[in-house]
Structure 1
Amino acid sequence: MPSRPTPLPDDAPQTVLSTRRAKRMGLSRSRTRASDMDQLGRGLRLRAGTVPDEFELLTALQELYPQAVFSHETAARLWGMWLPSNGPRPRPHLSRTRSRGGTVRSPHAIGHELSDAAPVLEHRGLRVTSPAWTWTDLAHPLPTVHDLVAAGDSLLQRQDGPSGQRHVGMHPLSQLDDLHRLVSTRRRFRGRRAALDALPLLVENVDSAAETSTRLMVVEAGFPPPLVNPQLRLDDGTWFRPDLAWPDLKICIEYEGDHHRTDRDQFRRDISRDRRMRVNGWIQLRVTGAIFTHYGQQQFLKDLRAAFRQAESGSRP
C-alpha cells in the first residue's frame, strides 16, 4: 500500500502550484508528482480534486514567465473593468516585449508581443498593462462600440461611488484626457476606429455598466444627453444624486439593481428619496434590467417621451 504524501506547507497555494514556486519551497520533483497532485500542464501542478482558482493560476503563470505582463481581457478583469459576461472566459492573455523574449508561447495562455511603450503597473501582486493601455487593447476583441464605452466608463468611476467606497483610493483608474491622448499617440493598434468612435461617448462618474447602457439607449433614441450622477439639491434643501438626470426639466432615471430590493436600509432610503422628489416636482422613472429587452425598451422610451412632454408643457403627474 503506497504511503501518503507528506503534507504541503501551510503557505502553499490551495489549487495551482508552479514548479518554480515548488522548488523555492524546497519541494522535490517527486513530491510535486505525488498522488495528491495532478499535472495541469508543463510547469504547473493542480491539487487533486480541486478546480483551478483563477488568481492562483495567474500567479503561477507569472512565476513561470516573470518577464511577461497580463494584458487584454485578463488585465481588464484584474482592473475590474466592465466586460460582457457572455461565454466562457478565454485563456489568460500574456504579453512580452521583443527585448524580453517576444510573444509568449504557452499552452496555458494567449500570447502577444508587447510594445516597449506600454505602461506596466503592479496590481494585486501581478504585472499588468495600465488601465488606459488595456482599454485600447480591448478595442478589437470587444464585439460592439457599446461594450467598449462600458469598459471605458468603468475606468472613470468617481472616487466616492459604490466601487470607490469598496476599494478606497482606487478610482478613477484613468482620466478622460489620458484616454484621448493615448488613442492619438498610439496610432497602430487593432480596433483603433472603434476606439475613436467610443471616445466621444465616454463620461465620468458612471456607477455601473447598466447606467452606461441606459444612457446610450436614451441618447440614441434622440433625447439630449443626461447628466450622470450629478449632485442636486431639492427645494427643501435635501441633496440627492440620481443616476441620470435632466435638471432643467426635473426628470431623472434611477436604475434599480437587485440590492435596491434586497437591502432593507437601501429600500427605505429609496422610498424616502422618491417621496421627497415627488413633493418637489420631479418626474422619476425607476427602471430595471427589463428595459434591455425589446418590449421593455419600447415601453421605457415611451414613458420617457411622455415625461418630457409633461415637463415641457409645465404639467406634472
Structure 2
Amino acid sequence: MDWKNEADSTAVGEGAAKQDSARGAVPKTVFTAEEARASGMTEYQLRHRWLVVPTPGIRLWNLGDPPWREVVEAVSSLTGDHYLSHSTAARLWGLWLPHHLEEDWPIHVTGRKGESGARRRPGIQGHKAELDDEDVVEFDGLRLTTPERTWLDHATQIKDPVWLVAAGDALLQRSNGPARPAGVLGENPLCTLAEVDAVLVRRRRTKGINAARQARALIREGVDSPAETLLRLIIVDAGLPEPVVNQEVWLSPTLKRRPDLHYPQWRIAIQYDGRGHGESAQLNSDIKRDSDFTDHGWESVKAADDVYRSDGARQFLERLRRAIHRQTRVASTVTVV
C-alpha cells in the first residue's frame, strides 16, 4: 500500500471540518490505536470516517500526505521486538543517500531472526536478521538499528557503490564541521571506524557484506558532504593519488586554511564550488580563500556541479593534471636551487 497516496486530497477541507471531539482526543496526525485508547478515544471514534488505517494498529487523519516522521514514530511504538532499519533508519540518522532513497517508502523494520521475525503489515517492509545488542539502540524515543549497522544493511539497497561510500563517510563527519540537518538523530561523528569494522566482523555472512567491505576500504573520516566523497572517488578512479580530506593547512606561521581536498606534496588545494557558492557572502569568502593559497605558492583547482557528468569530469581532471605538472616543475626548480 502506498501511504503517500492513500489520503484523498479532495477530502482535506471537508475532513478538517468534521473531526469533532475525536480529533481532540489525540492531537497527532498519526498515532497508534493503543495511544488513542489510552487518551480516551472510543472504539466508535477509532472508526471515524476521516481516519485511515494504513496498517493494523495505526490510524492517521485523512488530510493529505501523512508526515513521514510521525508515521515512523507510530510504527516504532507498535508492540513487538522490532527496530527501524535500512533506508528508514538511514534517513533518521542523516546518512547521505541517492535521490531515489531520500523519500523511500514503505517503512523498513527489522525483527530478530528466530524470535519476533519481521513485522509483515501493509505499508511496512519487514526484514529478519540476527540482531546483537550492539546492533540496536533506542534514541529520542525511537527503536532503530545503530548507525554502523544501518550502513551495513543499507548495502542491500544501494546499487551504486559510490553512494555506499558516501553513506559510510556520513557516519564519520568531523565534530567541528557543518551543522547537521534539522530533525536528524545524533551528533557527528555518528560512530568510529572501529565500530564499522566490528559490525562487519559480527555480520560477516550477511547479505551485502561484500559490497560493504569494498566500500569500507574507501570511506574516510572528516568528510563534510557527499559532493566531497564523489569528487574524491572521481580523482581516485582516474588513477590519480588519493588527496587528503578536510585537513587544515598552515600557509604561514599565522595563517591556516582547510581545503576540501588537497595534495600536500604538490601544494594543490582542490575545492568543490557547487550550488550555494554563488551567493555574495560565500563568493567573497571563496575569493579570499583562493587568494590566500595563491599568495603562498599553492594552486587551487575547482570543481563545479558539472563534474558529475562525463564531460565535466574530464575537464576537471585535465585541469588537475595540468596543476600537478606545473607544481611538480615548481617543486623541482626549488629543490635544484
Matches within 5 A, 1:225-304: 225-235=242-252, 237-262=254-279, 264-304=280-320
Give per-residue Cα distances to partners, 1:255-313, cap 9 Å, x unaligned: 12323223x43332222112111111211112222100111011011111111111011
1:106 lines up with 2:121 in the alignment: yes
Q: Which one of 64, 67, 74 corresponds to residue 50 of structure 1?
A: 64
Please state how far the C-alpha of 1:169 moved relative to its aligned partner.
Answer: 7.0
Alignment partner, residue 180 of structure 1 = 197
Equivalent in the alignment of 2:90: 76
Alignment CA distance shift 1:224-1:3 (3 Å): closer
Greater mean deviation of Cα atoms: 206-215 or 229-238: 229-238
Structure 1 residue 10, shift from structure 2 partner:
7.7
Give the corresponding residue for 1:90.
Answer: 105
Q: Does the aligned pair in 1 maintain the 2:94–2:181 contact within 8 Å? A: no
Query: What is the 5 A alignment of 1:210-229?
Result: 210-229=227-246
Contact between 1:132 and 1:174, CA under 8 Å: does it hold in 2?
yes
What are the ranges of 5 or more consecutive residues in structure 2 without an aligned counterpart?
Answer: 1-16
Question: Which is further off, 156-165 or 221-230?
Answer: 156-165
* Distance of aligned partners of 1:34 and 1:181 in 2 relative to their CA distance in 1, 3 Å threshold: closer
**1:229 to 1:10, Cα distance in 2 relative to 1, 3 A:** farther
How many Å apart are 1:239 and its aligned residue?
1.2
SS state at 1:313 partner: helix
Is the contact made by 1:70 and 1:129 (CA closer than 8 Å) also made in structure 2? yes
Q: Return closer, same or farther for 1:278/1:215 CA change in 2, 3 Å cut-off.
A: same
TM-score by length of 2: 0.86
The SS at the match of 2:320 is: helix
Which position in structure 1 is the counterpart of 2:4?
Answer: none
SS at match of 1:272: helix
Q: Is residue 88–residue 104 contact of structure 2 (8 Å, CA) maintained in 1?
A: no
Are 2:55 and 2:121, in contact at CA under 8 Å, matched by a contact in 1? no
What CA distance in whole angstroms lies between the structure 2 residues aligned with 1:282 and 1:102?
58
Tell me how far apart the structure 1 counterparts of residues 270 and 260 of structure 2 sit (CA, whole Å): 6
Of 24, 35, 38, 1:9 maps to 24
Residue in 1 aligned with 2:6? none
User: Which of residues 191, 202, 206 is equivalent to 1:189?
Assistant: 206
Contact persistence 1:139–1:192 (CA under 8 A) = yes
The C-alpha deviation readout for 1:62-108, integer Å capped at 9, x for no partner, is 23244210011111111111111126613111111146421211112
Deviation per CA, 1:146-182: give whole Å up to 9, x if none: 1211111110110001136978971111111221232
Amino acid at match of 1:95: T
Farther off after superposition, 142-151 or 85-94: 85-94
* Letter paired with 2:217: P
* Counterpart-to-counterpart distance in 2, 1:156 and 1:24: 41
What is residue 11 of structure 2 aligned with on the other side? none
Secondary structure of the residue aligned to 1:95 is: strand
Confirm or deny: 8 A CA contact 1:96 1:103 kept in the other structure: yes
- Unaligned 5+ segments in structure 1 are none
Structure 1 stretch 22-31 or stretch 91-100: which is displaced more?
A: 91-100
State the distance in 2 between where 1:5 and 1:312 align: 76
Distance of 1:214 and 1:3 partners within structure 2 = 53
TM-score (norm 1): 0.91
- CA distance in 2 between counterparts of 1:185 and 1:237 reads 47
Work out whether residues 93 and 110 of structure 1, in 8 Å CA contact, stay in contact via their aligned partners in 2: yes
Q: Which moved more, 1:217-226 or 1:306-315?
A: 306-315
**Between 214-223 and 112-121, the greater mean CA deviation after superposition:** 112-121
Letter in 1 for 2:242: P
1:210-269 alpha-carbon deviations (Å, 9 max, x no partner): 10010011011111111100111112621110000002211111112323223x433322
* Distance change (3 Å), C-alpha of 1:38 and 1:302: same
Cα–Cα, structure 1 residues 169 and 159, in superposed 2: closer, same or farther, change >3 Å? farther
CA RMSD of aligned residues (A): 2.4
Deviation at 1:3, TM superposition (A): 7.7
The one-letter amino acid paired with 2:69 is F
Aligned counterpart, 1:38 = 52
Partner amino acid for 1:297? A
SS at 1:157 equivalent: coil
Q: Is the 8 A contact 2:25 2:41 kept in 1?
A: no
Instruction: Name the CA distance, whole Å, in 1 between partners of 2:117 and 2:186.
Output: 34
Q: Is the 8 A contact 2:25 2:39 kept in 1?
A: no
